Structure 1
Amino acid sequence: MSEIHPNQRVAVLADSQNLYHTAQSMYTRNIDYAALLEESVSDRELTRAIAYVIRADAPEEESFFDALVDIGFETQIKDIKTFPDGSKKADWDVGICLDAITLANHVDTIVLCTGDGDFTRLCHHLKHEGVRIEVICFAESTADELVEAADSFVDMSEDTDRFLL
């Protein structure tokens, strides 16, 4: 594990669907992405910040995407898929993993903003490559194995006035 230092290069990967659903179900509020990015970078050198979002033709989603860009995030946008039986699917797990692995040679730390335990194996791989892994999410919805795999964990539930709008 690399230690935190002032010139540390950081990439922030935000699983917006995971964050959104947790914030809505637990607090009926939205994520403050400016505060999330500020906490993630913490006076280090930001290399990339990517927010992975789903286009579901919801009202005001384009203004949300624009706001993310204004804050400093690149947006990766995927259209929601609707199947013949009416079920819907949209996730960025593979895209987040590919970007994290690609960025690993260019950063010292990757901050995963998600509670999804599917990223546990990714954490192990990146740590083996010498990358520090930090996770920021709500403890109540974050998989224990993801917290254990990370070098550090920030529980957004401990400061909802900061992390929620």
Structure 2
Amino acid sequence: MKKIVLLVDVQNIYYTTRDAYGQHFDYNRFWERATANRQVVKAIAYAVDRGDEKQRQFQTILRAIGFEVKLKPFIKRADGSAKGDWDVGITLDAMEYAKHADLLVLVSGDGDFALLVDRVRHDFGIPVEVYGVPGFTAFALINAATEYVPVESDLLLGSPGRT
């Protein structure tokens, strides 16, 4: 059985599924698909903490599915812009846990991760599956991945035919 590491860029998948489909990512369905006949070594969901109750409930759901949830405080700058990405944290964890796995699964469309995917494939000799929303996933990331899995209706909550 393949040992896998799952890393989910929660903010990226939230905004890309919302903007592309007006729907939310189905974390349960994703877990079923990504972990089928595989052993999970580590599963981490990276999120921004705004401190509201709805978000805490969502984080509890992620933990119940099997994810460790890592939170970073939401930072609003004086100019009105916001900061809250996990790029460095995801990269460090990928490099740490990939050496214990046969496969890395990354959920993000962020092209900044193309270099990480290349490095994991080269340094650890393991494949990398990337889940991302078509049209919102950087070509560099798609090209770096061993396999690109488009996030479409079967991975969305409330899609027709879904229960």
After TM superposition, the score normalised by the length of structure 2 is 0.92
CA RMSD of superposed structures (Å): 1.1
Aligned to 1:4: none
- Whether 1:81 and 2:75 are equivalent positions in the alignment is yes
- Whether 1:147 and 2:139 are equivalent positions in the alignment is no
Gaps (5+ residues) in structure 1? Answer: 1-6
Q: Does the CA-based 8 Å contact 1:10-1:47 persist in structure 2?
A: yes
Q: Distance in 2 between matches of 1:38 and 1:149?
A: 24
Aligned length: 156
Q: Distance in 1 between matches of 2:80 and 2:150?
A: 35
Q: Does the CA-based 8 Å contact 1:12-1:110 persist in structure 2?
A: yes
Percent of aligned positions with the same letter in both sequences?
37
Aligned with residue 103 of structure 1, among 83, 97, 118: 97
C-alpha distance 58-26 of structure 1, shift in aligned 2 (>3 A): farther
Q: Distance in 1 between matches of 2:58 and 2:115?
A: 31
Q: Distance in 1 between matches of 2:20 and 2:31?
A: 21
Aligned to 1:164: 156
- Whether 1:34 and 2:13 are equivalent positions in the alignment is no
Which secondary structure does the structure 1 equivalent of 2:100 belong to? coil
Gaps (5+ residues) in structure 2? Answer: 158-163
Alignment deviations for residues 24-79 of structure 1 (CA, whole Å, 9 cap, x no partner)? 11222111101111222231111111100111234500000000001111100111
Higher mean displacement: 40-49 or 68-77 = 40-49
Aligned with residue 116 of structure 2, among 119, 122, 134: 122
Higher mean displacement: 21-30 or 9-18 = 21-30
2:104 is aligned with what amino acid?
I
Q: Does the CA-based 8 Å contact 2:2-2:37 persist in structure 1?
A: no
Q: Does the CA-based 8 Å contact 1:135-1:154 persist in structure 2?
A: yes
Q: Does the CA-based 8 Å contact 2:20-2:133 persist in structure 1?
A: no
